[in-house]
A and B are shown apart, each in its own frame.
Chain A
Amino acid sequence: MEQATDRVKRGLAEMLKGGVIMDVVNAEQAKIAEDAGAVAVMALERVPADIRKDGGVARMSAPEMIDEIIAAVSIPVMAKARIGHFVEAQVLQAIGVDYVDESEVLTPADEENHIDKWQFTTPFVCGARNLGEALRRIGEGAAMIRTKGEAGTGNVVEAVRHMRQITSDIRALSTMGSEELMRAARDLQAPFDLVQEVAKNGKLPVVNFAAGGLATPADAALMMQLGCDGVFVGSGIFKSGDPALRAKAIVEATTFYQDPAIVAKVSRNLGEPMVGIEIDTLSETERFDKRGW
Chain B
Amino acid sequence: MIGVLALQGDVREHEAMLQVLGVSTRQVRLPKDLDGLEGLIIPGGESTTIGRLATLYGLIDPLRDAIAAGLPTYGTCAGMILLAERLSEGSQPLLGALDVSVRRNAFGNQNDSFEADLDVTGLHDPFHAVFIRAPWIESFGDEVDVLATWDGHPVMVRQGHILATAFHPELTKDERIHHLFITMTKES
Residues of A at the B interface (CB closer than 8 Å) are 1-5, 7-8, 11-12, 14-19, 34, 37-40, 70, 74-77, 93, 96-99, 121-123, 251-252, 255-256
Q: Which of A34, A37, A252 has the most CB of B within 10 A?
A: A37
Count the B residues whose beta carbon is within 8 Å of the partner chain — how many?
A: 36
Which of A11, A40, A255 sits near B7, CB closer than 8 Å? A255
Cβ–Cβ contact B132 & A12, under 8 A: yes
Structural contact, A11 and B46, CB atoms closer than 8 A:
no
In the assembled complex, the Cα of A50 lies from the Cα of B113 at a distance in Å of 35
Q: Is B130 an interface residue (CB 8 A)?
A: yes
Q: Are B109 and A96 in contact (CB under 8 A)?
A: yes
Query: Does B104 touch A at the CB level, under 8 Å?
Result: yes
Interface presence of B139 (CB below 8 A): no
State which of B46, B53, B114, B168 has its C-beta within 8 Å of the C-beta of A40: B46
- For B105, list chain A residues within 8 Å (CB): 74
Name the A residues within 8 Å of B168 (CB-CB). Answer: 11
Q: How many A-B contacts are there with CB distance less than 8 Å?
A: 109
Task: List 27 A–B pairs whose Cβ atoms lie within 8 Å, in order of A's numbering.
Answer: A1-B115, A3-B114, A4-B111, A7-B115, A7-B130, A7-B171, A8-B113, A8-B132, A11-B130, A15-B77, A15-B78, A16-B46, A18-B7, A18-B8, A18-B9, A18-B45, A19-B8, A39-B8, A40-B46, A75-B46, A75-B48, A75-B49, A96-B111, A99-B110, A121-B111, A251-B49, A255-B8
> In the complex, which residues of chain B have a beta carbon less than 8 angstroms from the beta carbon of A5?
115
> In the bound complex, how far is the Cα of B109 from the Cα of A98, in angstroms?
6
Tell me which residues across on chain B come within 8 A of A37, comparing CB atoms. 48-49, 52-53
B1 within 8 Å of A by Cβ?
A: no
Q: Please, which residue of chain A has its CB at the minimum distance from the CB of B129?
A: A1
**Which A residues touch B78, using CB under 8 A?**
15
Contact indicator per residue, chain B 94-114, by CB within 8 Å of chain A (1) or not (0): 000000000011001111111
